[in-house]
Amino acid sequence: MPDAAILDELRALRADVAAMRRELAALRPARRPRLVVRDREALEVLLPAIAQAAGAAAWTCGDVAELALLPGRDALAHALAPHVARRGGLRALGRLLARASGVDVAGLRVEAIGRASGAVVWRVEQSPKT
Averaged pLDDT score across all residues of the chain: 86
What is the number of other CB atoms lying within 10 angstroms of the CB of residue 125? Answer: 13
CA atoms of 10 and 38, how far apart (whole Å) = 51
Q: What is the pTM of this model?
A: 0.69
User: How crowded is the C-beta side of 41, counted as CA atoms within 13 Å?
Assistant: 4
pLDDT in tens, 72-125: 888 888 888 887 776 668 888 999 999 999 888 989 999 999 998 889 999 999
Which pLDDT belongs to residue 40? 92
Q: Hey, where are the domains in the chain?
A: 1-30, 37-126
- Which of these, 127, 124, 65, 129, lies nearest to 93 by C-alpha position? 65
